[in-house]
Chain A
Amino acid sequence: MKEARSRRPVFLDLWRIRFPIGAIASIGHRVAGVLVALALPALVTGFVRSLESEQSFRAVVALLRSPLGLLALLVLCWAFGHHLLAGVRHLLMDAHFEWSPGHPDTVGRLDVGGRHSLASLHHARAMAWSAIVGGIVLGLLLFTAALSALAP
């Protein structure tokens, strides 16, 4: 076991490793999830405070409309948008949606549990790109919606 491990080639030069697009979508999902988790104390506090009284409700809205509040909101909107779409990507992958037998762009043969003989790398890449670009778009949409909801 130890012998096998020592012979395995190790290449961890982070500046030269090229991440495939699926890996970027995947690590983004994780980073975005951790960001939302870190924001949970603030989010729960905001929810509870917003219900306490008219005064504390106004304080929460004012905090969200401050420059720092808006920045945090923008980051969280992206994080949520990306986490949501990359999560849907994971659900689709669970359902083997990324495999597209017979697709003309299929580049190789990959036997996934014997269920599919052809795998489409093209589809997997398109899904990863959709999650990344869609996450940014959804994040901006959410931010715009939040801005209009916060307007006086």
Chain B
Amino acid sequence: MRVFGGLRPWVLQRLSALYLLACFVALALMLGFARPAGYAQWRAGIAHPLGMAAALAFFTALFLHTWIGLRDVLLDYVKPLWLRGVLFTAIAAALVAGEGWVLVALARLHGL
């Protein structure tokens, strides 16, 4: 897979954007009709299998979308290759760490 060019990042960027857009609409509807009243309901909603799957997919799409977006910005403005490499590595590491953190937080909801 070509990481820095070609059609695949472009397609992933748009697919993740569409999923995030759907999440936003769903979240707005949920907040409008049945917003969680306090911690217990918030926790229960995310701990539900559907809530966990939606939250995990949401953060995965968000991090993927962020990676492609920041990558495009750096490709445009950061010209020295070594600096690009450093920044790409730092951003990728931060996003992978974020995904891991979300996974751990979701697993902890079930005492894992």
The chain A residues found within 8 Å of chain B, CB to CB, are 30, 33-34, 36-37, 40-41, 44, 47-48, 50-54, 57-58, 84, 87-88, 91, 94, 145, 149
Contacts and interface: CB of A to CB of B under 8 A. Distances in A.
A87 B101 contact: no
Contact of A145 (B28, B66, B98): B28
B31 A47 contact: no
B17 A58 contact: no
A30 B73 contact: yes
B17 to A, nearest CB: 6
Contacts of B69: 33-34, 37
Interface residues of B, number: 27
B24 interface: yes
B109 interface: yes
Given A37-B66, A37-B69, A51-B109, A94 B14 contact: yes
Among A50, A84, A87, A145: residue with most chain B CB under 10 A:
A87
